[in-house]
Amino acid sequence: MANELFTDYFFDEPAFNTHDGGYVPLVVDPAPAQPLAIPPLLQPDAETETDVWYTVTAMAGETQILPGAKTRTWGYNASLLGQTIVYRVGKHIHVTLQNHLKELTTFHWHGLAVSGPYVDGGCHAPVYPGESKQIDFTLDQPAATTWLHAHPCPSTAEQVWHGLATMVIVKDDHEDQLPLPHTYGVDDIPLVLQDRRFHADNQWDYRADYDPDGVQGPTAMINGTVNPVFDVTTQRLRLRLLDGANRREWRLHLSDDLPFTQIAGDSSLLPEPVRLTKLMLTCAERAEVVLDFAGYHDGDEVRLYSDDVPIVTFRIHAFAAATTPLPAHLLTIHAPQVAATTPIRQIVMSGMDEEVMLDGKKFNMQRIDATQPVGLAQYWDVTNTNTMHGGMVHPFHVHGTQFLVVSRNGHAPYPNEHGYKDTVGVNPGETVRLLVRFDLPGVYMYHCHIIEHEDGGMMAQIQTYDPNRPMPHYHLMDMDTLMKAFATERGIDPADLWMAGMDAYHEMGMEM
C-alpha cells in the first residue's frame, strides 16, 4: 500500500455546494440516537447452480424515523429504501419488477453493465401501477457497490426523495478471496447517505422543498436512520458509502482525523488502496472504505462527520486484533485499447436552475443524441461551463458502462479515481476526460446526477451498436405513450400517474 496519506477533499473548494444561494446546511436533529438500520439482504425466490430469481417490489408504506408520527415513505420490498440486493457475476439473474405504487415508476440499475434501455430501467422502461415486468441479465463486471433507484423522467428526483433507492452489491470470486471485511451487517455495512426536511407530523413535502438545483433537507438520514449508532465488534469495518442524496455532496471525515483506507470507487475496487482523512462524494458516487479501530477500546466512540455535523456514531466494543494486513494490490485494471485515431467526444454541461442543459439542449426522450460502436473505447471530454461564482460541481453519470477517468483539465485524476467509475464530479470550468467503452448494444442515458438537474433536462442519450449488424430499432417512449394511452385504457386521469413531474416540465418549457 502506498504510504502517502491524503488530507484534502481533492475537489475545488470554491465549487462546494455550500456556496450556492439555495444551500441547506446540515444541522444535528434533536431526535435521540437510534441503532443504525441495516437493511436485510433480499432473499431469492429460487436458485439453482446457474440461475437465480428475485422479486423487487416498489411499494409505499410508513416508517418510524422520528419519535411521534410515522413518515409516509416508499421503498423496494420495504417501507423505506429497500432490502440490499446481492448479485453474483456470471449467474443468470431473473428479476420480477412489481409496481405497487399509484404512479408509474422504473427500476434503474445504476452501475450494472446491463443492456439499455429496457433492462437498464431508464425512462423507456415504465412499469405501470399494479403491473409487473420480467428482466433477465448476466453480469460480466468487477465486484462493486452499485444501487437501484427509480428513473421515470421527469419524476426521478421526487420518487428517489420518497425513498426509492437501495444498495445492490456485485460479488465476484476475485473480491471474495481478498482479505477484506466480508460479513454483511457486522464488518461490511451499507451506508446510504441522504438528507431530508421533516415537516408537520414528521412528513416529507417534496413540492414545498423544491429547488431546481436539487432538493435538500437539514437532517442527515443514513440508511433511513436519524442520529444512527453502529456497534463495532471488529477491529476493521468496511463501509459501503453511497451518496443517495438528490443534490447534497458529503464531505466526510472521522473524529480525531482518524485516517481511513479507500478500497473501491463506484464500479470496482481501486488498483491499490488509498489512505485518506477526508473524502468527498458527489451525488450517486460510491466509495468503499475500511476503518481501523486499532487504537480504540471498549466504550470509545468514533464519529463520522459531514462538514462539522456528526452523521454516524460508531460505538466501539471489545474486538479481536486483525492479524492480516490489507492487500497492497486490489485489482488489475485492463484499460480499453486506444490509438491515435480514438475519437474524442465533447460533452458540455451548462447552466443552473431551470437553464441546465447538456450540449446546449434539454433532454428529449425521442432523440438519440449520439452513437458509439460497442467494444471500441472513445474519449469523452466532459466540460462543466459553470464558473466558480454560483456554479456547482455536476456529477456526470453514464448508464450501462464503467469508465476510467483519464485526466482533469489535463492533469492526473484524483488519487482515488483510478478504478472503474460510472459517476464523476466535474468542477466548474473543468474538463474531465473519460475513457468510455460500451460492451452491449442499446440506448443509454447520460446526465448530471443532481437529480433535479437530470429531471430538468441536463441529460442526453446514446445508441450503441454492433457495426457488423443492422441497427436495431428501439421503441423510445414519449409522454403521450407514457401517460395518455395508458390512462385512457384504464379510464384514469393521466395526471394521477405522476406527482409533480409534469408540472415542472411544463414550467420549464420542456418538449417531450
Q: Which of 318, 322, 289, 319 is nearest to 304 (CA)?
A: 289
Of 245 and 450, the one with the shorter C-beta distance to Cu ion is 450
Q: Provide the minimum distance between the beta carbon of 386 and Cu ion in the complex, in angstroms, as a whole number.
A: 9
Q: Provide the minimum distance between the beta carbon of 455 and Cu ion in the complex, in angstroms, as a whole number.
A: 11
Q: Are strands 459-465 and 370-373 parallel, antiparallel or unpaired?
A: parallel
Q: Return the C-alpha torsion angle 97, 101, 104, 110, nearest 10.
A: -50
Of 91 and 453, the one with the shorter C-beta distance to Cu ion is 453
Q: Provide the minimum distance between the beta carbon of 359 and Cu ion in the complex, in angstroms, as a whole number.
A: 14
Q: Provide the minimum distance between the beta carbon of 394 and Cu ion in the complex, in angstroms, as a whole number.
A: 4
409 near 431, Cβ under 8 Å?
yes
Of 75 and 122, the one with the shorter C-beta distance to Cu ion is 122
How far apart are the two ends of the chain, measured CA to CA in Å? 51
Of 37 and 448, the one with the shorter C-beta distance to Cu ion is 448
Of 188 and 213, the one with the shorter C-beta distance to Cu ion is 213
Q: Which of 314, 291, 197, 189 is nearest to 242 (CA)?
A: 189
Of 246 and 306, the one with the shorter C-beta distance to Cu ion is 246
Report the phi/psi class of residue 77: left, alpha or beta, with left for phi > 0 and alpha for psi in -120 to 50: left
User: Which residues in this chain contact Cu ion in the complex, by CB under 5 A?
Assistant: 394, 448, 450, 453
Q: Provide the minimum distance between the beta carbon of 392 and Cu ion in the complex, in angstroms, as a whole number.
A: 6
Q: Provide the minimum distance between the beta carbon of 349 and Cu ion in the complex, in angstroms, as a whole number.
A: 6
In 3-state terms, what secondary structure has residue 454? helix
CA distance 479 to 27: 40
Q: Which pairs with CB-CB distance under 8 Å and at least 24 residues apart come from 3-8?
A: 3/275, 4/275, 4/415, 5/259, 5/275, 5/276, 5/277, 6/274, 6/275, 6/276, 6/277, 6/278, 6/415, 6/416, 7/257, 7/276, 7/277, 7/278, 8/278
Of 274 and 448, the one with the shorter C-beta distance to Cu ion is 448
Q: Provide the minimum distance between the beta carbon of 67 and Cu ion in the complex, in angstroms, as a whole number.
A: 35
The total of other beta-carbon atoms located within 10 Å of residue 165's CB is 27
Q: Nearest residue by C-beta to Cu ion?
A: 448
